Structure 1
Amino acid sequence: MSATEQAPPARPESDVSSTVGLVGLAGLVAWVAFARWFPDIAEALGWAVPRDTLGGRNSALFGLLAAALPMAAWSILVDKVHLRPSTGLDWSLVRTRRPDRSVTWIKLAGLWATWAIIAGLYCLCRWYWDGQYLFSMQVLGYSAIPLVALSIPYVFWIDRALVNPRDQAWHFGALLLMRPGWDMDEVAKHWRAWIIKAFFTAFMISIIPFAFRTIVTADFAEIAARPERIALTIIEAMFMIDVMIGTVGYIVTMRPLDAHIRSGNPFLGGWIAAFICYPPLVWGILGGGKAINYEHNTAGWLHWLAGHDTLIALWGALLVFLTGIYAWATFAFGLRFSNLTYRGVLTNGPYRFTRHPAYVSKNLFWWCAVLPFLVTTGSPVDAIRNCFFLAVVNGIYFWRAKTEEAHLLAEDRKYRDYHAWMAQNGLLTAPLTRLWNRVRPRSALAGQPAE
């Protein structure tokens, strides 16, 4: 939308209902409560089982199901997302068209080859075979054979309703089998989507057990004794919600749920900015005494507020608020959360106030939790360095945000309308847009997209 066009009078309707994320959150919370109070439940029901909390890794995986199943059920039964044209499905074709099974087998060949290549990459990359990633490799390894087996009836079934059965997986399969008709652009789109899915799914699964166990095994009596413990535990709970709902989003990319990856970000800058923030690049670039470290000789908010319980409670509440926004920005996506992808347009929840609530809240949290300008050495040089490097990290997230916007602006008119509406009406976006338009050169405004 150009600067001369008018923004839509109302905020565009979201492709994700505001309820689907809430029912997923309710399912997750219910499972956490069951896992936490399992000893009492087992005793009350007389079950002959060990009376321990269910804080283990398998229980964490069940937590994913507890979140995913209610969201899937709501999406199908209430939102009826399977009937949307955006799925690429036309269920009337099941009755009127005889599917071409040669297309299906070529697609399966492309899909299985993709999984085999990803498995090979996991084997080659050493960081996947150490520390927290070992759990991911175990889960994915045990899932391999069931996924291959289940993919046959699933693809045979879905091909009966696909308007265009020759999708991206088919193009890759046709390339491998040297069949005519494949398109390299479609192959590139196929691999962008699968690299994103493979990279982030492994990372998210790797951190599930810690996030889940921390909340399930927490000692609430001890936590309630101190305001900082209350704040830190709530923050951990918000982190758990973000991780587990986000993991569901990476796994459940299915057309009948309208949660498929429609496209991966085509901009190299977007990939670089995103991957910098995750292992293995984050280990060498951000923090830990590496290239960009904003925590050198810092002690954090609890150190500087020690002995002032009222201030600790108030500052802890601020950090809880920021983390709550961050978690809300994830579960508002329902089944569609993931980095670097276009899976529809989200305009409700915290996205009513800013286009990037997760990035805003996360970066503000770091400033408030680390307090990089306060250092234990008293050195102004350390304080300046810390503030500079945290500003660099903020800049990386700004870079991520802009590449994500560029991707979505190119894909969907609804996002262009949302982008323009937010520039005039967003609680945070509108004043920042007005400020930016004042400070940038007038020549840059002509013909440029509205902020």
Structure 2
Amino acid sequence: MREDASSSQPPRSDVSAGVGLVGLAGLLGWIAFCRAFPDISTALDLPGPHARLAGPYAALCGLLASGVPMVLWSILVDKVHRRPSTGLVLGKRGPAHSTRAISFTKLTGLWATWAVIAVLYGLCRWYWDGNYLFAMEVLAYAAVPALILSVPYIFWIDRRMEEPRDGTWHFGAFLLAREEWDREKVIGHWRAWIIKGFFGAFMISILPGGFAEVVNADPAALATRPGALALAVISLLFVIDVQIGTVGYVMTMRPLDTHIRSGNPFLAGWIAALLCYPPFVYGITGAGGLLSYENNAPGWQHWLAGEPWLMALWGGWLVVLTGMYAWATVVFGLRFSNLTYRGVITHGPYRFTRHPAYLSKNLFWWSAALPFLVTNGGLLEAVRNVVGLALVSGIYYWRARTEEAHLLREDAKYREYHAWMSRNGPLTVAIGALGHAISRGRSQQPLHPAE
């Protein structure tokens, strides 16, 4: 039964709360194991160095620790593989030869897509520097297993799909020039794979740094330093966000109902999103960037130094904001990714505002950077910083609006959710009322006749 906008409850979410929770539990358990490994290895008299598991491959194993529980929950509890939205009919199992030609065409399209992405990785210089080197190493090792496993997977799934001629097939048909292909399907195929290729590499690249910091953290040394303790908790929350988010990019599979239904079709949406990530973001908010907002602004720890209670309170506020940001990713479970439509999330922080991640992230930047407090440059420097961060927040507002336009176009459930939030979402209603009040105040200002 559909919920209307006046209902006390939003439409039912396409992802249950349990998916993200078991993924979070698995990840936290893995982090605890990595921290306790010296004691475990000593107790079991294991060979090798008895040190914490803080390396990049331990971070990579965190994807399994969080991803496997989420997959099992999705299949065994939520039974997502039975949903009509998968496009699969599991009872359907025609003869292998009936879809063999389709599968060969689809494999052509898939392997050609991977080849193009590999060439782009090779040509773009930023992928061969810094954190991205780890991502390139991981993807290089994964290439051969992916090629091998794609063959049985494609043959298996094509026999069970209601319509196996998807975007990948249409791209293969275009390359082989044997059958009619649909231009829009090919464009949709490439939207999805550009998103996976661009953001997937970025997410893998940032896995090791935060994970090592969390595993090696010393709680005893942090307990008496409220600022450092807050930063350590914030680091843990960012690790949770990155780990769960990376699983979402990896697990785009029809049997789990996590496939990409569509990529954002609006150019404005792509521009707004890409401006927020490397390498483009370096020219926006990096050192000397167009909208750099931390020039001569040392931030909250500098200004609250010597005030431990204020430091603790402000650090706690930043932890709350980061917690909302991480929570907004966790509730996606296996479906997190930018610029995509993969179902509708209506629970967790998405019951308070349609964009909890963007709201909390921008509040965090304003609260942490305090761009209006500067040590040098005076009022002009403070104004530059404030204007810069205000424009960054404007980019995120623009990004949110383009994402809404995409989802409103794609899914009736999202339209119901959008309407419900306009009437019932606490933060959405409050922000909307503030905007209306400002607009009304401007329109009611008295007009002064010319002198």
TM-score range, shorter chain: over 0.9
Gaps (5+ residues) in structure 2? 441-451
Deviation at 1:440, TM superposition (A): 5.4
**Are the structure 2 counterparts of residues 132 and 440 from structure 1 closer, same or farther at C-alpha, using a change threshold of 3 Å?**
same
**Are the structure 2 counterparts of residues 350 and 141 from structure 1 closer, same or farther at C-alpha, using a change threshold of 3 Å?**
same
Give the Cα–Cα distance (whole angstroms) in 1 for the partners of residues 283 and 397 of structure 2. 21
Name the stretch that deviates more: 110-119 or 289-298. Answer: 289-298
Name the stretch that deviates more: 279-288 or 313-322. Answer: 279-288
Contact 2:318/2:364 (<8 A) preserved: yes
Amino acid at match of 2:289: K
Give the Cα–Cα distance (whole angstroms) in 1 for the partners of residues 187 and 174 of structure 2. 12
In structure 2, the partner of 1:285 is 284
What pairs up with 1:185-196 in 2 under 5 angstroms?
185-196=184-195
Amino acid at match of 1:412: D
Amino acid at match of 1:18: A
Deviation at 1:225, TM superposition (A): 2.5
Give the Cα–Cα distance (whole angstroms) in 1 for the partners of residues 272 and 307 of structure 2. 39
What pairs up with 1:159-308 in 2 under 5 angstroms?
159-308=158-307
Listed one character per residue, the Cα deviations across residues 17-67 of structure 1 (whole Å, up to 9, x for unaligned) are 011001000001111111111010111122223201110011111111101
Gaps (5+ residues) in structure 1? 442-451
Give the Cα–Cα distance (whole angstroms) in 2 for the partners of residues 421 and 360 of structure 1. 19
Deviation at 1:261, TM superposition (A): 0.4
Give the Cα–Cα distance (whole angstroms) in 1 for the partners of residues 413 and 110 of structure 2. 31
Contact 2:296/2:375 (<8 A) preserved: yes
In structure 2, the partner of 1:354 is 353
Q: SS at the partner of 1:236?
A: helix
In structure 2, the partner of 1:412 is 411
Amino acid at match of 1:331: V
In structure 1, the partner of 2:148 is 149
Give the Cα–Cα distance (whole angstroms) in 2 for the partners of residues 165 and 220 of structure 1. 53
Contact 1:8/1:420 (<8 A) preserved: no
Deviation at 1:75, TM superposition (A): 0.1
In structure 1, the partner of 2:446 is none
Amino acid at match of 2:319: V
Give the Cα–Cα distance (whole angstroms) in 2 for the partners of residues 135 and 340 of structure 1. 24
Give the Cα–Cα distance (whole angstroms) in 2 for the partners of residues 87 and 8 of structure 1. 28
Q: SS at the partner of 1:328?
A: helix
In structure 1, the partner of 2:362 is 363
Contact 2:233/2:319 (<8 A) preserved: yes
Amino acid at match of 2:145: P
In structure 2, the partner of 1:79 is 78
Amino acid at match of 2:325: Y
**Pair 1:112-2:78 in alignment:** no
**Pair 1:22-2:21 in alignment:** yes
In structure 1, the partner of 2:444 is none
Give the Cα–Cα distance (whole angstroms) in 1 for the partners of residues 430 and 324 of structure 2. 20
Contact 1:234/1:320 (<8 A) preserved: yes
Q: SS at the partner of 1:242?
A: helix
In structure 2, the partner of 1:433 is 432
Name the stretch that deviates more: 233-242 or 91-100. Answer: 91-100
Give the Cα–Cα distance (whole angstroms) in 1 for the partners of residues 439 and 86 of structure 2. 41
Give aligned pairs, total: 437
Contact 1:42/1:51 (<8 A) preserved: yes
Deviation at 1:283, TM superposition (A): 1.1
In structure 2, the partner of 1:91 is 90
Give the Cα–Cα distance (whole angstroms) in 1 for the partners of residues 327 and 390 of structure 2. 24
Amino acid at match of 1:319: L
Contact 2:34/2:215 (<8 A) preserved: yes
Amino acid at match of 2:419: A
Amino acid at match of 1:304: W
Q: SS at the partner of 1:142?
A: helix
In structure 1, the partner of 2:443 is none
% identity of equivalent residues: 62
Amino acid at match of 1:414: K
In structure 1, the partner of 2:448 is none
Give the Cα–Cα distance (whole angstroms) in 2 for the partners of residues 99 and 247 of structure 1. 36
Give the Cα–Cα distance (whole angstroms) in 2 for the partners of residues 188 and 401 of structure 1. 23
Give the Cα–Cα distance (whole angstroms) in 2 for the partners of residues 302 and 163 of structure 1. 57
Q: SS at the partner of 2:375?
A: coil
Deviation at 1:98, TM superposition (A): 6.2
Give the Cα–Cα distance (whole angstroms) in 2 for the partners of residues 233 and 296 of structure 1. 24
Q: Taking structure 2 as the reference length, what is the TM-score of the superposition?
A: 0.95
In structure 2, the partner of 1:34 is 33
Give the Cα–Cα distance (whole angstroms) in 2 for the partners of residues 335 and 182 of structure 1. 31
Listed one character per residue, the Cα deviations across residues 124-149 of structure 1 (whole Å, up to 9, x for unaligned) are 10100111111110000111011000
**Pair 1:382-2:381 in alignment:** yes
Name the stretch that deviates more: 60-69 or 223-232. Answer: 223-232
Contact 2:5/2:417 (<8 A) preserved: no
Contact 2:5/2:423 (<8 A) preserved: no
Amino acid at match of 2:402: T
Amino acid at match of 2:266: F
Give the Cα–Cα distance (whole angstroms) in 2 for the partners of residues 161 and 236 of structure 1. 43
Amino acid at match of 2:189: H
